[in-house]
Amino acid sequence: MIRTRFLTNTIVSLVLFAVGAVSAYAQAGTLVSSLRTGTITAAKFNARTSKVFGADAPERLTGSLNLYKVTYRSVDANGRSAVLSGLVVLPSNGAPNGLVIFNHGTTVYNNHMPSRFKGEENGIEPETATLAFGSGGYAIAMPDYIGQGDHTGGHPYPANVTNARAGIDLISAARAIARRNNVNVGNALFVTGYSEGGGVAMAQVRELERSGNPTHQVTAAAPASGPYDLSGTTREFMLEQPTAQAGFVVRTYLLGDLI
């Protein structure tokens, strides 16, 4: 009797978990809220890009850039429904050349997250990405990731596939904001990121290609300097024959950690 009750409760729990997971993924990408938090004028943008990039400055901006802090539905590291935050940058003249998803690198301070950027000249990554991609007819979307920005809890660092969901689900939310503000965003989709964000970008491209979603087809991707295969790289390192005491100590530590 006890075993039967235990099995029944287990099956019910698994069914409820599966239903909840299906519901969470079905709602992913839904825009929850958006708030315009800043505007960057063409004069400010062009002066700043010249200062930051010099001779390699991108195309000059006409019009202005409007910055929106957004929250949207996604899933957390356990596949449960979660509301994440991020930044969407929309050119006032429209973005006919498409949408750029930029994934930030390892960031410790929450006030350095993309959703916190309001157009300041502060030299942190969200500003640099905005300057790099804000002209030339592109919109930009930058996720904060799970456990960062407005989302509480631990950040699954550096779990590329898990964190990839944040950027994937931001695509629909970003396009919804553009429609709400009557900004034309072309169908092209570009995915990039640096360091931790480079690994996240590569995982996003793979997941987007696997999804077969015709509205999420990747036009081009540039994952930069990312931790693409930590487990494989660690395995190869562990199997190498150490030639110095430091190598032996490191391998012993990693082996103990794995055990």
Cis (ω within 30 of 0) for the bond into 96? Answer: no
Task: Name, in order, each residue with C-beta under 8 angstroms of 52's C-beta and a sequence gap of 6 or more.
Answer: 128, 131
Is residue 86 pLDDT above 70, yes or no? yes
- CA-to-CA dists, residue 109 to 11, 90, 114, 149, 185, angstroms: 42, 25, 11, 9, 31
Q: What is the mean pLDDT of the chain?
A: 91
Mean pLDDT of 159-167: 97
pLDDT (tens digit, 9 = 90+) per residue, 90-145? Answer: 999 999 999 999 999 999 999 999 999 999 999 999 999 999 999 999 999 999 99
pLDDT confidence bin for 5, thresholds 50/70/90: low
Q: What is the mean pLDDT of residues 3-14?
A: 48
Span 20-52, pLDDT tens digits: 445 678 899 999 999 999 999 999 999 999 999
What digits encode the pLDDT tens for the residues 214-253? Answer: 999 999 999 999 998 888 888 898 889 888 888 888 888 8
> Residue 17 pLDDT > 70, yes or no?
no
**Among residues 27, 58, 170, which one has the least CA distance to residue 104?**
170
Nearest alpha carbon to residue 223 among 194, 184, 253, 185: 194
Q: Which pTM value belongs to this model?
A: 0.86
175-212 pLDDT, tens digit per residue, is 999 999 999 999 999 999 999 999 999 999 999 999 99
Q: Residue 13's pLDDT is what?
A: 40
Burial class of residue 202 in the structure, from the number of CB atoms within 10 Å of its CB (0-12 exposed, 13-18 middle, 19+ buried): buried
Conformational region of residue 112, where left means phi above 0, alpha means psi within -120 to 50, and beta covers everything else:
alpha
Q: Are 87 and 117 in contact (CB under 8 A)?
A: yes
Pick the closest to residue 173 from 78, 33, 45, 19 (CA basis).
Answer: 33
Residue pair 148/110 in contact by the 8 Å Cβ criterion: yes
Give the rounded distance of the alpha carbon of 72 from its chain centre: 13
HEC string of 101-150 equals EEECCCCCCHHHCHHHCCCCCCCCHHHHHHHHHCCCCCEEEEECCCCCCC
